[in-house]
Amino acid sequence: MTSSRGVEWTIWTDGACLGNPGPGGWAALVRGEREVLLKGGEAWTTNNRMELKAALMGLLATPEGARVEVRTDSRYLKNAFTEGWLARWQEHGWRTKTGPVKNQDLWEELLKAVQARQVRWAFVKGHAGIRENELVDRLAVQEAKSQRDPPGSEGRSGFRARRG
């Protein structure tokens, strides 16, 4: 996929959470005219929020108007865009059959980022040996652990990461 600027952008994303909710982390590998590795976390969050945050931050690292493929192991993220979930949620005032849409704030930010770019969504199987997916998974888990473990504790708190 090549943009009008002659640059192809690919973003690999992942999120992780220690417990759900609990300390979380996200990571995005952005490749195009440059390669950028982004990561971060939150002290109290959910796995889905971290999946959304990874995609958002990856997209924001690309120029507006760019052609981008986002590769994710989160069906929640991919299907919201490819199966019409977002459109239905908006049509119903950000409500589902069971109540308010969770993570509306991040969905709205993602919609803005997507509308400013030409985005294609691709599902990749997690933990299947795909180098880039394994990298962002590892970094997201590290970020989640860093939200929980103070420096020097060497991860002794006993939490296990829930991987997306």
Q: Which residues are catalytic?
A: 14-15, 51, 73, 127, 137
**Burial (CB count within 10 angstroms: exposed 0-12, middle 13-18, buried 19+), residue 21:** middle
In the DSSP assignment, the letter for residue 101 is: P
Helix (H) or strand (E) holding 79: helix 75-82
Rounded distance between C-alpha atoms, residue 84 and residue 89, angstroms: 9
Q: Which of 20, 38, 19 is nearest to 28 (CA)?
A: 38
Helix (H, G, I), strand (E, B) or coil at 61: coil
Q: How far is C-alpha 80 from the geometric centre of its chain's CA atoms?
A: 13
Overall size of the chain counted in residues: 164
